[in-house]
Structure 1
Amino acid sequence: MISFATRAELIKIARVLDVDPDDLNYLADASPAALREFRVELARTLDKRYQALFARLGKAGSLVPAGVAAKIATTFFGPALCGPIAANLPPAKAAGLIEQLPVGFLADTARYIDPDVAAPVVRALDSRSMSPVVQELLRRGDHVSLARFVNALTDRQLRQIVPQVRTGDDLLLTALNVETAQRLDALLALLPDDRVAALLQAAVDRDLVAESIPVLAAVSPQAQQRLARIAAGLGTEVSAAVAAAAAAAGEADLAAAFPASR
C-alpha cells in the first residue's frame, strides 16, 4: 500500500511531468524525502530551459490591460503555461489579472504554480481574491495544491484563509501535505481547540493516525503538548491511537507526550 506522503509526492511529480500519478507507481518504494528532492530538481531542470521564455511572456503580459491578458491566458495559453508565467509577473499586475480570470481556471492553474518561486505574487494577493480559489480547491479535494501555498502565504494571509477550511477532514488532509514544520506550527496556532480536536478525530476516523505521525513529530514540543491536551479531551481512543502509532514509528518523545502512553 502506498503511504499518504508518498502518494502526495507522486501527485506533485505527475503535475511536473503532466502525466497520471498512477503512471509513477513504480517510484512508490522511494521515501517521500527522496521523491521530494527528485521533484524539486526535476522542476528546476525543466523550468531552466524555458525560463527566458517565461520571463518574456511575463513582461509582455504586464504591458497589456488585465482584461486582454486574461483573454489571452484562457484562450491561448492554458493553466499549464500560465502557472510558470505567473511567477514572472509584477505582483500588482498579477493581482489585477487574477480578478479577471474564472475561478475554475485559477484552480487549474494552481496545480502548475511553484509557490516558492511565485511567493512575491502570492503574498500580494488579498483574501477577496484568494477565497473563491480556496473554496474551489476544497470542493475538488485538491489538498495537495492548497497545502503547497501554506509555505508561501504570510501569517496575515493564513489568518484570513484558515477559517475557510472548515471540516476536520479538510484540515487533516491539508496539514498532512504541508512540507515545512514551521508553517505547520503557524497553521496549528491559528486553529482554536475545537478545530484541532476535529482534525485529530478525523485522523482516527479516516484511519490516518499512522500517516499523521511524521507531521505530529515535526511540530514544536509546545504544539505537541497542546495536541496531547486536546486529544485527552476527546477520550482515550484518540490519545491511545496516537501514542501507539508514535511508539510503532520509533517516535518515543511524541508517544510520551500523550496521556495514553503513561
Structure 2
Amino acid sequence: MTALTSALEITKLAHEMHVDEAELAFLATTSPDDLRDLRGIVSHAMFSRHESRVKGLAAVSKKLPAAVTAKITEIAMGPMLSARVAAVMDPADAAKLAGHLKPEFLAELSVHLDPSRVEAIIARLDRGLVVDVGRRLLADGHLLTLARFTGVVGPETSLKVVDGASGAEILRLALFIDEPSVIDPLLAGLPDETVTEIAAAGPDHSDAFDALLLALSEDSRARIASLT
C-alpha cells in the first residue's frame, strides 16, 4: 500500500511541476509523507517565483471592467498565468471575473490552480458554474484536478459533478483525494448502482480498491459488502 501511495504522490508532484511522471521515477522509494512535503515546497516555490508579477497583473485587472478583463484573460494571458493571478486577487473580484469567462476556459484554468489558495473564490461562485466546470474536467479525464477540488466544493456539489460517472472513474477519483474524510460523504450520496459499479471495478484495480476500503468508515464498507 505504501508503494501505491508513493506512486500517487509522484503523480501529484508531476502534475504540480508540469513534467512527465517518468522524470520522477527516481523518487519511487521515497516515503509518501516526504513526497507530500516536497509537493508542498514545490507548489510554494512555483507560486512565489512570479508573485510580484502576478500581483501587478491582479492590481491592473481591478481597474478594468470585468468583461474587458475576461477578454484579455482568455486571449492574452492563458490558463496557467490566469490561475496564478486568480490566487492573489480579491475573492469577490475574482468571482465576478469568473462569471464573464467561458466555462471551457475555467476548466483549463482549474488544472493549474491550487484549491487551497482559491477556496474563498470558489465559495462565491454560482454552483451551476462550478458543476459545469467540474463535469468538463471529468469528461476530459482530469481526475487528479477534480479530486483536489472535491474537498473544497463539498459533497453536494461533488455529487452533482460525478452524476453519471462510471464506478471505475469514481474509484480513480477517490484515490487522488488528499483528505480521506471527504470520501465517506461522497460515497454516502452515491446511488446503489454506482457503488455496485465501484465494487465491480475492484478486481481490475485491486490496489486502488483496497486503498479506498481503508479510507472508508465501517458503515461505508458494510454498504459495499451488502451490495456485492
Normalization by structure 2: what TM-score? 0.86
With over 3 angstroms needed to count, the CA separation of the structure-2 counterparts of 1:31 and 1:211, relative to structure 1, is farther
Q: Name the CA shift for 1:169/1:63 in 2 (closer, same or farther; >3 Å).
A: farther
State the shift of 1:7 in Å: 4.3
Aligned partner of 1:180: which letter? E
1:29 aligned partner, one-letter code: T
Equivalent-residue separation in structure 2 for 1:13 and 1:86 (angstroms):
21
Q: Secondary structure at the match of 2:116?
A: coil
Does residue 174 of the first structure (1) align with residue 179 of the second (2)?
no
Deviates more, 1:119-128 or 1:171-180: 119-128
Q: Which residue of 2 aligns with 1:67?
A: 67
Residue 18 (structure 1) aligns with = 18
Deviation at 1:178, TM superposition (A): 0.9
Q: Among residues 202, 205, 226, which one is paired with 2:223 in the alignment?
A: 226
Q: CA deviation at 1:160?
A: 3.5
**Structure of greater relative contact order (alpha carbons < 8 Å, 6+ residues apart):** 2
**Distance (whole Å) between structure 1 residues aligned to residue 5 and residue 73 of structure 2:** 33
Counterpart of 1:125 in structure 2 is 125
1:43 CA drift (Å): 1.0
For the Cα contact (< 8 Å) 2:172–2:208, is it kept in 1?
no
Query: CA 1:144–1:4 in structure 2 vs 1: closer, same or farther (change >3 Å)?
Result: farther
Partner of 1:134: 134
| AA matched with 1:170 | E
Whole-angstrom distance in 1 between the partners of 2:34 and 2:138? 28
Contact kept, 8 Å, 1:123 with 1:154, in 2: the verdict is no
Letter in 2 for 1:218: A
Q: CA deviation at 1:131?
A: 2.8
In structure 2, the partner of 1:212 is: 209
Q: Which has more radius of gyration? A: 1
Q: Is the Cα–Cα contact under 8 Å of residues 94 and 121 in structure 1 kept in the other structure?
A: yes
> Do 1:185 and 1:219's aligned partners in 2 also have CA atoms closer than 8 Å?
yes
Task: Give a deviation string over 1:199-254, Cα, whole Å, max 9, x none.
Answer: 121222xx212223223212222222222222xxx3xxxxxxxxxxxxxxxxxxxx
Distance (whole Å) between structure 1 residues aligned to residue 11 and residue 76 of structure 2: 26
| Contact 1:162–1:190 under 8 Å retained in 2 | no
1:61-140 aligned at under 5 Å gives the runs: 61-140=61-140
Deviation readout 1:90-143 (Å, 9 max, x if unpaired): 333323322332333222211211111211112222232123322221222111
Among all aligned residue pairs of Structure 1 and Structure 2, give the percentage whose two residues are the same amino acid.
Answer: 30
Q: 1:172 Cα deviation (Å)?
A: 1.3
Q: How far 1:174 sits from its partner (Å)?
A: 0.9
Match of 2:191 in 1: 192
In 1: Cα distance, 2:148 partner to 2:170 partner: 14
Instruction: Write the letter of the residue equivalent to 1:221.
Output: E
Runs of 4+ in 1 over 6 A off after TM superposition: none
Q: CA RMSD in A?
A: 2.4
For structure 2, the residue ranges without an aligned partner over 5 or more in a row are: none
**Which structure 1 segments of 5+ residues have no match?**
235-262
